[in-house]
Chain A
Amino acid sequence: MDNKKLNRREFINKGVRIGIGVGIGVIGYELLSRTLSSKTVWQIDPAKCIQCGKCATSCVLEQSAVKCLHVYQMCGYCDLCSGYLRPETKELTTGAENQLCPTSAIERKYIDDPYFEYHINEELCIGCGKCVKGCGAFGNGSLQLQVQHELCVNCNQCAIARECPSEAFSRVPASSPYLLKGFGGK
């Protein structure tokens, strides 16, 4: 009798096993048939970004993986740069009290009268987006916030994306990992 019972149990086990196997196969096939990319990464759409400053604070890394990138092609090389200088400064000098950037991450270099080149020191940039806001409001919008993929640990659910008020974060294919505006003739 015991033998018979064991056989029945084995039979049920085998049946369920095959069932689970088929189930896993169906789910796998279904997912594979929809797959478009072999890898995705997180990126900010500058068109949606409102520079709220949460990128600087919400990232799981101590210093955010979001940095300001400078698209030089779009830059006007202005002397009175609204991304570099604070709006109500009395003097237009490079003094720290006149700079918009809280960490002085923007380096200003004289090129030709009256033009200046602006360069982001990424080690200092905390991704707060203050300069991006200034440049976007009164300038060309050549400063843009982007996820720096060398730093980003590519969390399954980006902590900044969860906090982002404008839903500017999305998963993009790793083959085109940046969403810069005005880059490459766009």
Chain B
Amino acid sequence: MKKSTQVALILLITSLIAFNLFGVQRFPRPEFENGYQQPETILNAPRALFFEYFDLAVLIGSLSLITWLILKKRSRKAVFWVMIFSLLYFGFYRKGCICPVGSLQNVTLALFNPEYSLPINGIAFFIIPLVFTLFFGRTFCAGVCPLGAIQDVFALRPVSLKSWVQSLLGLIPFIYLGLAVLFAATASDFIVCRYDPFVGFFRHNASFMMFAIGGILLFISVFIARPYCRFLCPYGVLLNLVSRFSKKHLTIAPSACISCRLCENSCPFGAIDKPTGAKFKQPSNVLVKKLILYCLIIPFLMAVCGWTASKYYESFAKVNFKVKLATEIMQSKNSESEVIPLEITAFRSSGNSEEVLFEEAKVILNRFYLGNWFLGGFIGLVFGLTLARLTIIPYKTDYTTNKGTCFSCARCVDYCPVKE
């Protein structure tokens, strides 16, 4: 054996040992003899867990306080100051995250995807406002939600909307909720957080589009009070439905209504139901006919909407990362283009197999197909019920708050002359 080969061999063996010692390091760390102290990599810890529980305590505290102020004290002024506090704390201090509006997506994701475990705070922020609403009405909306609060302070010149306009625009939150649930359940996207218009103000930092949309909504809220809450908020849909069956709810008059009409225009949200008058007392045979009609129309609407939505499941599914990636890989095989998208490069370097990805994408596509049927059906149902509500007017004699749409802001209370 030549000397040079021997040296080479020794070098090779030692380098192999060194390689093993230092793992994959190409350039082993030198041994310094001049007393050099290696600096530490500074790893800043995230916000301490204590503060998360503090947030929860603030939520429960402010909800309890505002509920007491609304139902027992009946004081608009006090409600306003709690609202300002929530705006400062949950809005500007906590920067709008974590909020119950977004948490409904986390809950959906956790329910449909067992591998995602939702932290306790996420669960609590979703459930606690619902529980309060079940017992006391939408006191959360009145002054704990930072998104509601920022619009409420701008409600300076509210105009009242026609009830049919309100019902029609009131359909949007249901559609938004349906879409949010669909995209969260398929682990595709959190659209409510993505298009949250006010979070940019809370962070003092956002893209131009976000500021523009938020600014427009705030401008609108000068004239149409709380546009996001009434015509967009998906969590508001849940609170609306739950609040209809609430045990206690804010009443305009503390005792019997004297129908003095003073509160008639006091609600900027159009949530006061006026007395219908005797002429609206429909005979029961007409009501039965209408009921039968709607029993036929609503399933038909559901089927039509479901079928229509199911036609578009593929374009909906493109929102999902895996489906998008699988489609891009399929397309890149057919096209001659030299430019390879980053996603494909990343996927190839990850070493995962295409077959597995295609299988996963197929499962997600099937979920979207089913999900779109449900989404369409849900929208059809909501359309039908809204239609029914517009034609079947319940007979009423008093001015009362609409338990569904009322935010329990207690504005109307100040207008009521009945004080005992």
Least distance between A143 CB and chain B CB atoms (Å): 11
In Å, the complex CA distance between A60 and B350 comes to: 27
Within the complex, which residue of A16, A71, A73, A77 is in contact with B245, where a contact is CB–CB below 8 Å? A16
A residues 28-60 near B (Cβ < 8 Å) are: 28, 30-32, 34-41, 48, 50, 52, 60
Asked if B41 and A77 sit within 8 Å, CB to CB, the answer is no
Within the complex, which residue of B45, B121, B207, B242 is in contact with A20, where a contact is CB–CB below 8 Å? B242
Q: Is B95 an interface residue (CB 8 A)?
A: yes
Within the complex, which residue of A20, A38, A141, A152 is in contact with B120, where a contact is CB–CB below 8 Å? A38
Least distance between A135 CB and chain B CB atoms (Å): 10
Asked if B27 and A78 sit within 8 Å, CB to CB, the answer is yes
Least distance between B302 CB and chain A CB atoms (Å): 21
| Chain B contact residue count (CB 8 A cutoff) | 67
In Å, the complex CA distance between A182 and B206 comes to: 35
Q: A61-B203, A71-B41, A149-B45 are in contact. List 20 more A-B contacts (CB 8 A).
A: A24-B130, A34-B117, A40-B119, A50-B349, A60-B203, A60-B205, A60-B207, A69-B43, A76-B26, A77-B29, A111-B32, A140-B26, A153-B97, A156-B99, A156-B105, A156-B193, A157-B190, A157-B194, A171-B116, A177-B43
Asked if B49 and A76 sit within 8 Å, CB to CB, the answer is no
Q: Is A27 an interface residue (CB 8 A)?
A: yes
Asked if B46 and A149 sit within 8 Å, CB to CB, the answer is yes
Q: Is A125 an interface residue (CB 8 A)?
A: no
The interface of chain B, by Cβ under 8 A from chain A, is 23-30, 32-34, 36, 38-41, 43-47, 49, 52, 95, 97-99, 102-103, 105-107, 110-111, 114, 116-121, 123, 127, 130-131, 134, 189-190, 193-194, 203, 205-207, 242, 245-247, 321, 341-343, 345-347, 349-350
In Å, the complex CA distance between A150 and B194 comes to: 22
* Chief secondary structure at chain B's binding surface: loop
In Å, the complex CA distance between A17 and B241 comes to: 11
In Å, the complex CA distance between A24 and B207 comes to: 36
Residues of A within 8 A of B47 (CB): 149, 154
In Å, the complex CA distance between A48 and B352 comes to: 11
Asked if A149 and B44 sit within 8 Å, CB to CB, the answer is yes
Residues of A within 8 A of B194 (CB): 157, 159, 162
Of all A-B residue pairs in the complex, the 10 with the closest CB atoms, nearest first, are A76-B27, A166-B346, A157-B190, A149-B46, A150-B44, A165-B342, A165-B343, A36-B117, A17-B245, A156-B102
| Chain A contact residue count (CB 8 A cutoff) | 65
Least distance between B196 CB and chain A CB atoms (Å): 9
Q: Please judge, given known A-B contacts A112-B34, A165-B343, whether A39 and B119 are in contact too, CB under 8 Å.
A: yes
Residues of B within 8 A of A112 (CB): 30, 32-34, 36
The 26 sampled A-B contact pairs (Cβ below 8 Å) are A21-B134, A27-B127, A28-B123, A31-B110, A32-B120, A32-B123, A37-B119, A38-B49, A39-B119, A48-B350, A50-B349, A60-B207, A69-B43, A73-B29, A73-B41, A77-B29, A112-B32, A112-B33, A112-B34, A117-B36, A153-B203, A155-B97, A157-B102, A157-B194, A165-B346, A166-B346
Residues of A within 8 A of B45 (CB): 149, 177
Asked if B23 and A182 sit within 8 Å, CB to CB, the answer is yes
In Å, the complex CA distance between A176 and B123 comes to: 21
In Å, the complex CA distance between A18 and B349 comes to: 54
Q: Please judge, given known A-B contacts A52-B346, A166-B346, whether A157 and B43 are in contact too, CB under 8 Å.
A: no
